[in-house]
Amino acid sequence: MNKEQKEIVKRINKAFSKLYVLSNITWTPYRDDLFKMNRKDEKQHRVGDWSEYHKDAASISDCAKMFTVKHIAQNLLTIEKWKIKDLLNIRKSCLYAQSIVENYGDKIRKAWLDEDIKYLANLDYVSLVNWELYQEQQEKKVA
């Protein structure tokens, strides 16, 4: 990973760590359950010759943390983003994150007082797995 990617992962880890508040609400460790869902999805995504095309990519765990943080941040910004009918077309973790936010959004907002929620909601998976491709995509957006 390059310096920019390491900085992104550092910000993800900081926000993920603050989600520990979701672990002591009930007997269910919501943050960890959401992370496990995302880790499983990312592991399945990387089957085959995936690494051949993504040298120096962030780890499976780092990407799973990114999706955990990203989905929670997106739901903080967009109330009721998903409907039950969306379950067939999106990752189950998206609905789980929405439910967490609908139930415990106040605790998350308090834990993330000094976090840039828009930045977290706009995290880009490609930036963690293929920096060159990410840079190309950013240049096309500007042009």
Question: What digits encode the pLDDT tens for the residues 13-45?
Answer: 999 999 999 988 889 999 999 999 999 999 998
Question: What digits encode the pLDDT tens for the residues 49-104?
Answer: 777 777 788 999 999 999 999 999 999 998 778 777 888 888 899 999 999 999 99
Would you state the structure tokens that stand for residue 4, as one six-digit string? Answer: 């920019």
pLDDT at 86: 82
58 vs 2: CA distance, rounded Å = 10
Would you state the structure tokens that stand for residue 110, as one six-digit string? Answer: 């308090």
19 vs 68: CA distance, rounded Å = 10
Question: What digits encode the pLDDT tens for the residues 114-130?
Answer: 999 999 999 999 999 98
pTM for the whole structure: 0.91
In 3-state terms, the chain is what percent helix, strand and coil (to 5)? 75, 0, 25
Taking the domains of the chain in order of start, what are their residue ranges? 3-142
Residue 143 has pLDDT above 80, yes or no: no
Would you state the structure tokens that stand for residue 56, as one six-digit string? Answer: 């120096």
